[in-house]
Each structure stands twice: as C-alpha cells, then as structure tokens.
C-alpha cells in the first residue's frame, strides 16, 4: 500500500509523459510493432498520414516520393545519385541551389536542400548581396549575355547578378544570365516536361529510348534494336558516326544551308562529298579538281584525267608519285603547301601574288611582314621569306636596334609582363623589347607570352602554311579562311 504522496507523484509523472509524447512531431514514430515482423498497430490511413508532409491531402506522395512508408515511418530509398535523409526523406545532400557553378554561390552553407546564407547575402543560392557598391551601368554590364542582352530578356539585374522571372514559382527559367528556359520543353497537349518521356536540360529535351521529337512527343513504331539495325552503315557504325539515328532513319549532321543535300548524305550518312575536294570549302562547287563528278565521296574522272581527285592529266608522262615527288622538293607537302602540282610543276597561289615563288613555292615573302604589313620592320630586305637586316638592327623581323639609348632598369620595366616576370621567363630583354628563346621556336608575342603550338594545324602544318600564328590564332593570308587557314575563298581556285 503506497502512501497518498507517492500516488500523487505517479499521476503527475503520467500526465507529463502523455504531454511529452503528444508534442513529438508526427514524423517521429517509435516502433509501433510489438516485435519485428509483427502487424502494425496503426491503421493504414494513420500510417500514411504520418508519412506525408504536413498539410498534404490524402493521396499525396508518401515520404516525398523518395522512400516507402513502414507503419508510419519513412524508409528512404531512391535510385538517384546522392543520399536522401530526414524523417520524411525531405533532405538531399546535393539539392542546394548553385550559382555560377558554386553551391550557395560560395556565400552560405547547404542545410537539408536549402542554402543558409552568410551575413550580407540573400537569395535561393545566396547570390545577391544585401548592399550593392556597383553603379547601375557596371551592374547591367555584368548581367549581359554573349549577345549583350541583359539577363536574356528573361529576368532583372540586381547588383551584377540576374534574378530570373519565375513569378509562378516553377523555377523553369534559370542560368547565370537566365539563358535556360525549360518552359520550352513543356508539351502543349499533355503540359508535361518533354511529354513525360525525357528530361529537359536548358530548354532542350533529351528523349528516352523509343521516343523522339522536339518534346519527345513521338513514339517509334519499331523496336530500338530494329532502329539500330536500320541505321548501321556498311562499316558497322551508327550513321557512319556522322549523324543521329531516330526511329531507324539517320539525320546527317552536315546539311546544306538551303536545306538541300549537304556535304554528308546517304541512308546511313555514308557519303561525304568533302572527300572529293582538294581543299575543303563547303560553299564551293569545285569537286574533283573540276575534272570529274563526285559520287558518294568518290571521283569519277572525265576523259583525259585521273587521280583520287582527278588532279592529274593523262597526257603527263609522269606517274602520280613522280609528279608529287618533283613538286615536293625539300618540303613535306607538294609545292610547300602553297601551290598546285600538275605533272611535276608547281603553280603558286594566290594566283598573281609575287610574294610566293620558287620551283616548289618554297619562298614566301609574306613571312617577312608584321601584322601591319611592314616588311622587315622597315630596317631590312626580304629574301625567300627571311629578313636581311640593315647594319645596327637584328631580329627575325629586324625589329631590334643593336644600340640602346635607355638604362638597364628602364629596359627591364618595359619587358615585364603582367605577372611581373621578365619576358614571361621565356626570353631575354633588349632595349625594352623581349627576344624570345630561339630554341623554343613556338614562343612569340610582345612578352614571349604566346605559344604558337596552340594554333590549329592542317596537313601537319601550323595555319596550313597559309598564314601566320598570332598568339594562338591563325592570321590568314588574303584568299584563305578557316581556323587553320585551310579554306580557299579566292576568286580563282589555285
């Protein structure tokens, strides 16, 4: 028999325990099974209610669609990358907003899918400063995309950062300059992203196997295996590696701007008309050296002509190999890559340009000119592409005076690059100008900061021998174009 005081204590303790359990969030649930495998003591409706987010109606996704509900407790399991956690699987370690490639813009911490911003910053990705020190002009300049449009006309500029128009809260407009608009992926009929048959990335749909169309709205009437079989070219490649396969039909990558047949065509993109041209220029009709017909990338030569590209007249007594050997001389390419070889003789181009000459077009006096067209810096003469400097001058383009009228300190100050290193550590300083290392032929530039190996090559030659490399970019001679100066655009084909 317990004393009355003890009974009062038990009643008080029981009341406090009941109140405490009532205050526990519904997402928290101790085991409501008597033992593992036993029946749940909750009704199905009550179990599901505890697994739904607060305020969600019956029938809404359980455990945020990222797990299963087991007797009122969420067990998270998803196939997406990353780890989900939280009482209702509401947290994801990778889902915090990013800005310019940085989670929470580098101005906050990710906490259960939301950015907690550092002091002085706000926004979903902590990308906006609370106080702006920029002028409106500077701010707008920072918000312009590559077309000089502020926030791609899809947002407003706040202190040099774009705030995209998402008044409906969908978040479909995004990107550093609001350049991505996933509303473009919404199917007009179903109102689903990519028709529910693909994923949208920056306004473009990437369809699941068996579906195609701008919004994945069309389904193939053949199996993926049959589609692949129809698109396989004779060499065993899908669309000859020159196109994409859609429902058993190849769409070749290169089509003519007019919409007609392009350079690449055929049922499996097996034909490449570029193989019929000596120098590729997609806007020229000069196939097979003008002496034949191009059929699926192969030349059918007219009478009196032969060669892979109908480049040799049959009246020539020399074989193709002998003709090329005579045109090569000491160069690796026929006519030094600066002319056309016909029956062992070179015709240098551009036609009529007297700066390119020699039996094998080996002399190119354009190499004596600087970017302003001055020959040998005005202090020498050019002989077969090399400068012969006047007395008192030296250098590749006779640009350096032998006598210097400045102090060593003044000279060094003029030779220092932006990082404070003399001639970028790749040359010597003479009278305020850098002389780049002769051993490293590819080093150039005012401060020896350019690497000519970065210039594009064609046929193994930098700028194809039809231009000069200027700090990593080809400066083409007149009549030539292309990243590597490989395309002839002159009025007369060489």
157-177 confidence digits (pLDDT tens): 999 999 898 877 778 898 889
Q: How far apart are CA 493 and CA 456, in angstroms?
A: 23
Model confidence at 34: pLDDT above 70: no
Model confidence at 378: pLDDT above 50: yes
Strand partners, 40: none
β-strands 443-444, 433-436 pairing: unpaired
2 — pLDDT class (breaks 50, 70, 90): very low
Compute the average pLDDT of residues 336-358: 79
Digit-coded pLDDT (tens) for 391-407: 888 888 888 888 888 88
Model confidence at 198: pLDDT above 60: yes
- Measure Cα distances from 169 to 166, 172, 311, 433, 441 in Å: 5, 8, 65, 59, 58
Helix (H) or strand (E) holding 462: strand 461-462
Digit-coded pLDDT (tens) for 103-148: 888 899 888 778 889 999 998 889 889 998 889 999 999 999 988 9
Digit-coded pLDDT (tens) for 455-469: 767 666 677 777 777
Query: CB neighbours (10 Å) of residue 142?
Result: 14
Which pLDDT value is given to residue 150? 93
Query: CB neighbours (10 Å) of residue 487?
Result: 20
Digit-coded pLDDT (tens) for 417-442: 878 888 888 888 888 888 887 677 67
The mean pLDDT of the chain is 78
**How is 88-107 classified by DSSP, letter by letter?**
TS-EETT-S-EETTEEGGGS
β-strands 211-212, 204-207 pairing: unpaired
**CATH superfamily ID and name for 274-368:** Laminin (2.10.25.10)
pTM of the predicted model over 0.95: no
Residue pointed to by tokens 């090399």:
386
More confident residue, 250 or 262: 250
Model confidence at 78: pLDDT above 60: yes
Strand partners, 74: 69
Digit-coded pLDDT (tens) for 219-231: 888 887 888 888 9
Which pLDDT value is given to residue 427? 84
State what percent of residues in the chain have pLDDT above 70.
82
15 — pLDDT class (breaks 50, 70, 90): very low
Which pLDDT value is given to residue 153? 92
Burial class (CB in 10 A: 0-12, 13-18, 19+), 489: middle
Model confidence at 102: pLDDT above 60: yes
Digit-coded pLDDT (tens) for 283-319: 455 678 888 888 777 787 776 677 778 887 777 778 8
* 482 Rama class: left (phi>0) / alpha (psi -120 to 50) / beta: left
Q: How far apart are CA 429 and CA 446, in angstroms?
A: 11
Which pLDDT value is given to residue 458? 65
Least confident of 53-67, 236-250, 280-294, 350-364: 280-294
Compute the average pLDDT of residues 198-204: 88
Domain with CATH 2.10.25.10 in the chain: 45-52+60-91, 274-368
Which pLDDT value is given to residue 6? 45
Model confidence at 190: pLDDT above 70: yes
More confident residue, 258 or 206: 206
Which pLDDT value is given to residue 22? 34
CATH top-level class of 45-52+60-91: mainly beta
Helices then strands, counting H and E runs in the chain, come out as 6, 44
């Amino acid at each position: 028999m317990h004393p009355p005081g003890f009974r009062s204590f038990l009643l008080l303790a029981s009341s406090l325990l009941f109140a405490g359990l009532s205050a526990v969030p519904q997402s928290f649930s101790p085991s409501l099974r008597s033992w593992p495998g036993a029946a749940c003591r909750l009704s199905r409706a009550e179990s599901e209610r505890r697994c739904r987010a607060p305020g969600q109606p019956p029938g809404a996704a359980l455990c945020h669609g990222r797990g299963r509900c087991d007797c009122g407790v969420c067990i998270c399991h998803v196939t997406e990358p990353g780890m989900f956690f939280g009482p209702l699987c509401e947290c994801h370690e990778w889902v915090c907003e990013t800005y310019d490639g940085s989670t929470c813009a580098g101005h906050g911490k990710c906490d259960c899918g939301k950015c907690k911003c550092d002091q002085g910053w706000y926004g979903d990705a902590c990308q906006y400063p609370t106080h702006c020190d920029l002028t409106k002009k500077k701010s707008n300049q920072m918000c312009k995309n590559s077309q000089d449009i502020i926030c791609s006309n899809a947002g407003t500029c706040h202190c040099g950062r774009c705030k995209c128009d998402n008044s409906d809260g969908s978040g479909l407009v995004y990107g550093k300059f609001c350049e991505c608009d996933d509303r473009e992926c919404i199917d007009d009929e179903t109102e689903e992203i990519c028709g529910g048959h693909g994923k949208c990335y920056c306004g473009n749909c990437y369809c699941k196997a068996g579906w195609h169309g701008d919004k994945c709205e069309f389904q193939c009437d053949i199996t993926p295996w049959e589609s692949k079989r129809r698109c396989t070219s004779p060499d065993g490649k899908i669309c000859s590696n020159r196109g994409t396969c859609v429902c058993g039909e190849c769409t070749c990558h290169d089509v003519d701007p007019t919409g007609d047949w392009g350079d690449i065509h055929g049922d499996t993109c097996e034909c490449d008309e570029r193989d019929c041209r000596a120098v590729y220029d997609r806007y020229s009709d000069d196939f097979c050296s003008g002496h034949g017909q191009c059929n699926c990338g192969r030349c059918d030569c007219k009478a009196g002509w032969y060669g892979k590209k109908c480049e040799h007249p049959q009246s020539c007594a020399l074989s193709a190999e002998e003709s090329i050997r005579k045109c090569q001389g000491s160069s690796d390419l026929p006519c030094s890559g600066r002319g056309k070889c016909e029956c062992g003789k070179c015709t240098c181009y551009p036609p009529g340009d007297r700066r390119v000459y020699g039996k094998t077009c080996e002399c190119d006096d354009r190499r004596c000119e600087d970017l302003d067209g001055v020959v040998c810096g005005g202090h020498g003469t050019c002989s077969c592409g090399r400068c012969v400097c006047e007395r008192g001058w030296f250098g590749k383009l006779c640009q350096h005076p032998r006598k210097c009228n400045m102090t060593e300190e003044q000279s060094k100050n003029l030779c220092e690059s932006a990082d404070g290193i003399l001639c970028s550590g790749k040359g010597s300083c003479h009278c305020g100008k850098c002389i780049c290392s002769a051993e490293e032929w590819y080093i150039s530039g005012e401060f020896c900061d350019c690497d000519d190996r970065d210039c594009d090559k064609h046929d193994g030659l930098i700028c194809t021998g039809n231009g000069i490399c200027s700090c990593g970019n080809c400066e083409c001679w007149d009549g030539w174009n292309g990243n590597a100066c490989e395309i002839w655009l002159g009025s007369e084909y060489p």
